[in-house]
Homo-oligomer: A and B are copies of this chain.
Amino acid sequence: MAPRPVYFDCDTGIDDALALVYLMASPEISLAGIGTVSGNIDAKRAALNTLDLLDMGGRNDVPVAVGAMDPLTHSFGGGVPHIHGHNGVGDVELPHTDRRPVAESAADMLVRLAHEHPGELDVIAIGPLTNLAVALKQDPSIAELVHEVIIMGGAALVPGNLSEVGEANIYNDPEAAQVVMDAPWQVVLVPLDVTLENAFEESDREALAASDSLLNQALADILNLYFDFYVEEYGRRMCALHDPLAAAIAVGQITAIRAPKVPVVVDATHGPGRGQTICDLRKQRGGPRDVEGAHVRVVLDTDQPLAPVLLERLLNYHS
């Protein structure tokens, strides 16, 4: 089978870096293009981080486009340096490539790729959904052209991480998320409900550090700051595999096993629920039940832990 073309939208970002290298290492898919967005760090810096990682992995064939610097209705707040570092990659200085982003915007790239691969392109979005919303506004037909949109975002039946009910990617641009959830394409939403259940432990990080690949060693370094952040919540150095889980579901190595298609509405009010992904999970007591007409699949459980799968693929990647 030919690898499936993927447009990857990211805000690299520490767990973004893991997801990116995982995708580079995945023969099931082909990275047709990468767009960046402001989230963990601003979109321009995210593009440079992405280019550095691609270069280290020998993947200078993949074009990187800078996307939206600001959310749809407000200014970018500046990222989360205490989680992802001041440079987005845990304050680690990666070897810098001379390669630069393409002139095309991320939204333009997505529109172009959707037309070049009608019915085939998968979109993996692991940052705020600004670029996807801009692309949909530019050309609503992409909703029919794209095969599937896999999103790391939201919190269905668990608390949020940026507000009581808001997960960071959605909370950072609720207006964009609303556009994306309302568009008539097939979405797979990978929320905190499952990403928080997939941990990368210190022993996993040490396995990366012991690899003879400079790229894996860099990932292990980058993870240090992120691991520190999780101590308060989990009581030990580790991290949740938010973005890599969406990537692994898109690749097909991890299968969603409790994942009903249900109506999903984004709270874009300025009330206390702003940024919530309101998933209609009523009447699911008898087991997962798709709601007629719904086009967003909400992943509530997966078939196996991601960490061993991710680690195996990273350790076996030879650029």
Show the binding face of A for B, using Cβ within 8 Å.
157-161, 164-165, 232-235, 263, 265-269, 271-273, 276, 278-286
Contact = CB atoms under 8 A, between A and B. Distances in A.
A280 B164 contact: yes
B161 A158 contact: no
A251 B314 CA distance: 57
Nearest to A196: B285
B235 A286 contact: yes
User: Can you tell how many copies of this chain the complex includes?
Assistant: 2
A160 B282 contact: yes
Given A266-B272, A269-B272, A273-B273, 11 more contacts: A157-B159, A160-B282, A161-B282, A164-B263, A164-B265, A233-B286, A234-B285, A267-B272, A267-B273, A271-B271, A272-B273
A159 B193 CA distance: 14
Nearest to A193: B157
Among A234, A267, A286: residue with most chain B CB under 10 A: A267
Contacts of A235: 286
A276 B263 CA distance: 17
A282 B159 contact: yes
Contacts of A160: 282
A38 to B, nearest CB: 24
Contact of A233 (B266, B279, B283): B283
Contacts of A271: 267-269, 271, 273
